[in-house]
Amino acid sequence: MAQAPYSQTLDRGLRVLEALAATEEPMSIADLSRVINVHRSIVYRMVRTLEDHRLVTRRPDGLYELGLGIAALARSVRSVLQSAALPELSNLADDVGLTAFLVVPDGDEAVTLVSVEPQRTHVHIAYKPGIRHPINRGAPGIALLAGRPPSPGEAENVTTARARGWAYSQGEVISGMRSVAAPVVDRRGNVPASVAVIYVAEDVDPEKLGPRVIAAARAIAARLP
């Protein structure tokens, strides 16, 4: 069976957006050209087009970063789930003083949909939307699997998380980072997401975080139609 036509230009434009999303710093045309391995003149034309659609913006210093059009698109992704989650994520983040985030399944991967940082702490971990990792690695992914019915041969950490209602991981996605997560189970028994918090401190007790994360997950589920 013949493959569908492939758009090289669209692929390159998406890679520009991915490159800008993957870094904390703005990038030059030369930076982008090097990262996506495309000539600068081609990158410049793609960036100008993305600027016209407000997906990329040029700073006064000539460097480029993601534009506000990205935020408008992101708000439309699973908007009902985001609307239900944001108030509860804010409450959770402020209650425990840690960044809280919502993760959704995407095939065999877990993807961060939205995150909220605490307002009353001076030091905390930032965790950007769009981060993805294998669903069987890290507390958020394990929680997604634990919210589903048991399956033959499933990993022990999934079985354990299902029994206690929350999952814990350390250094499985980002070195040194710890996470506690719980599944969001809707009234139909589906698991559209998991709720998680992320931290570094060794003196934070996951046993105390677990019940609070479970409460947030249940509150989000109650808000879903």
Q: Which two tokens stand for residue 171?
A: 């250094």
Give me 44's structure tokens: 């410049």
Task: From residue 189, give the alpha-carbon distance in Å to each of 9, 78, 185.
Answer: 42, 18, 6
**Cα Rg for the chain, rounded, in angstroms?**
19
Q: So what's the pLDDT on residue 85?
A: 92
Please tell me what DSSP assigns to residue 137: S
Separation between Cα atoms, residue 162 and residue 182, nearest integer Å: 9
pLDDT in tens, 122-150: 667 777 788 889 999 999 999 999 999 99
Rounded to an integer, what distance in angstroms lies between the CA atom of residue 51 and that of residue 185?
40
pLDDT for 204? 86
Encoded amino acid at 159, one letter: T
**How many H-runs (helices) and E-runs (strands) does the chain carry?**
8, 8
Q: What is the pLDDT of residues 14-31, one digit of tens each?
A: 888 888 887 778 889 999
Q: Which is more confident, 77 or 114?
A: 114
Q: What is the pLDDT of residue 78?
A: 64
C-alpha pair distances (Å), 85 with each of 80, 81, 91: 9, 6, 10
Residue 197: predicted pLDDT: 96
Return the pLDDT at 30. Answer: 93
In this predicted structure, what is the pLDDT of residue 76?
58
pLDDT category of residue 206 using cuts at 50, 70 and 90:
very high
Please check the confidence at residue 3 and state whether its pLDDT lies above 70.
no
What does pLDDT average to over the chain?
A: 88
**pTM, whole model, 2 decimals?**
0.72
